[in-house]
Amino acid sequence: MPIHERLESVYAEVLARNPGETEFHQAVREVLESIGPAVGKHPQYADAKIVSRICEPERQIIFRVPWEDDRGEIHINRGFRMEFNSALGPYKGGLRFHPSVYLGIVKFLGFEQVFKNALTGLPIGGGKGGSDFDPKGKSDREIMRFCQSFMTELHRHIGEYTDVPAGDIGVGSREIGYLFGQYKRITNRYESGVLTGKGLIYGGARVRTEATGYGTAFFVNEMLAARGDSFEGKTVVVSGSGNVAIYAIEKVHQLGGRVVACSDSSGYVVDEKGIDLEVLKEIKEVRRERISAYADAVSHARYVEGQQVWSVPCDVAMPCATQNEITGKEAETLVRNGCTVVAEGANMPTTPEGVRLFQEAGVAFGPGKAANAGGVATSALEMQQNASRDSWSFEYTEDRLEDIMRDIHTRCLETADEYGMPGNYVAGANIAAYTRVADAMLALGLV
């Protein structure tokens, strides 16, 4: 899709000012291709250069993270925090610890987070952070030392009214605990709202662990309902086998679907009877083994090494692993095998060519900024509980999450209809989020 003529110069400027950051370029282009109708309808946005301002982070923080391993060897990693936009509230977004992390990844994630957070309707801005540190193969004490070093620098940039990090790939409840402990020690403040994804015993929210996966399943349920359908009897394929994938599988099963395949970076497993969630949780959350161990434990399952999961026929595909895992080739395979709904549980897991092929084939496509917003939405609910010194039940929090995902789905569809693109969730999500952020930026003046 071409970029609106009034936005071409903005994109050219993004390319020039952010060389080599291909993921960020991709994320910006995807938004700019969608919001042209809104730019035409609201000239005040162009006059205030809202798009140019949204594409430039308010603050980019890069720092050194020195730490010592169990053998006494010193390592130096790089830490990032991208405080992208705070027009709607404090910066909000996760921390990712993975070797692939560099400025372009963090910037793309932060940019996406601005729009995702706006779609929730909650008072949170967008940010993201992380490090090129790899927690795999590290001892608990090594991870603790790294997290303490990371927070020693990060603490000066965050706060419950400034910037509220959470977890992402490589950052779970263990890492959040170490990070919060160091923040508390350095600041001498028990500021529960400074981090989300915390353990229940020290201020965490129920459903936060499940939230992104549950939320994606809730969103797909709404997509199916909009087509007069449901999960009942549907065959589902989920990529990944981490936190998001596990709880997407759990909620899909509760809603009547059957997840027959999931994966990790080594390959994928197929279980035609439906993935046994207890076995998967034991392998991934307790034993921390490769997905091949599932086939060892479940006799009728089969393991395929070194391949992606998208060749497995399904009605619904839920990419929950990492960015750009569905290219045009995988999209063609999914369409050919009869897939009718795709929803992104990960951030930008589908390439532009893949998105185009899905839309041309009439596949309902839910972009990550809408479909996986459940994680950050529940983080915002955790912030509410911390601010009120309260703790909600699992059932109440899950009901709030389901309501938020239903509202996001409605907002996307209604906005797409309003701008003459019925059923286009990508355009609906981008325009709805963009106009909300733009209106707030106009109200706050040139800051």
Query: What's 435's domain CATH number?
Result: 1.10.285.10
Residue 416 falls inside a structural domain? no
- Looking at the chain, the whole-number percentage of residues with pLDDT higher than 70 is 100
pLDDT of residue 6: 86
For the chain, the domain total comes to: 3
Q: pLDDT band at 420, cuts 50/70/90?
A: very high
- How confident is the model over 255-268, as a mean pLDDT? 97
Q: Which residues are catalytic?
A: 128
CA distances from 32 to 29, 188, 417 (A): 5, 44, 18
Q: Which of the listed residues 337, 362, 387 is the one where a domain comes to its end?
A: 362
Do residue 64 and residue 182 come from a single domain? yes
Domain that holds residue 6: 1-56+424-447
pLDDT of residue 203: 95
- How confident is the model over 207-230, as a mean pLDDT? 97
d(Cα 354, Cα 374) in Å, to the nearest integer?
23
- Looking at the chain, the whole-number percentage of residues with pLDDT higher than 90 is 96
Give this prediction's pTM.
0.93
Q: pLDDT band at 101, cuts 50/70/90?
A: very high
Largest distance between two CA atoms of the chain: 64
Q: Which residues are known binding-site members for NAD(+)?
A: 212, 243
* CATH number for 82: 3.40.50.10860
Q: Is pLDDT at 246 greater than 80 in this prediction?
A: yes
19-39 residue pLDDT tens: 999 999 999 999 999 999 998
CA distances from 355 to 121, 252, 328 (A): 25, 23, 8
Do residue 228 and residue 325 come from a single domain? yes
For the chain, the average pLDDT equals 96
360-400 residue pLDDT tens: 999 999 999 999 999 999 999 999 999 999 999 999 999 99
Q: pLDDT band at 40, cuts 50/70/90?
A: confident
Do residue 230 and residue 333 come from a single domain? yes
Do residue 257 and residue 143 come from a single domain? no
Do residue 227 and residue 337 come from a single domain? yes
Q: Which residues are known binding-site members for substrate?
A: 92, 113, 116, 167, 379
* CATH number for 240: 3.40.50.720
Residue 414 falls inside a structural domain? no
Q: Which of the listed residues 154, 189, 224 is the one where a domain comes to its end?
A: 189
Q: Is pLDDT at 68 greater than 80 in this prediction?
A: yes
Q: Which residues are known binding-site members?
A: 92, 113, 116, 167, 212, 243, 379
Q: Is pLDDT at 2 greater than 90 in this prediction?
A: no
The continuous run of DSSP H or E covering 138 comes out as: none
Query: Tokens at residue 194, please?
Result: 């400074």
Residue 411 falls inside a structural domain? no
Are residues 335 and 310 in contact, defined by beta-carbon separation less than 8 angstroms? no
pLDDT of residue 323: 87
Are residues 157 and 129 in contact, defined by beta-carbon separation less than 8 angstroms? no
Do residue 32 and residue 118 come from a single domain? no
Q: Is pLDDT at 183 greater than 80 in this prediction?
A: yes
Q: Which of the listed residues 317, 332, 362 is the one where a domain comes to its end?
A: 362
Residue 390 falls inside a structural domain? no
Q: In 410-437, which positions are buried (b, 16+ CB within 10 angstroms) versus exposed (e)?
A: ebbbebbeebebebbbbbbbbbbbbbbb
Do residue 47 and residue 99 come from a single domain? no
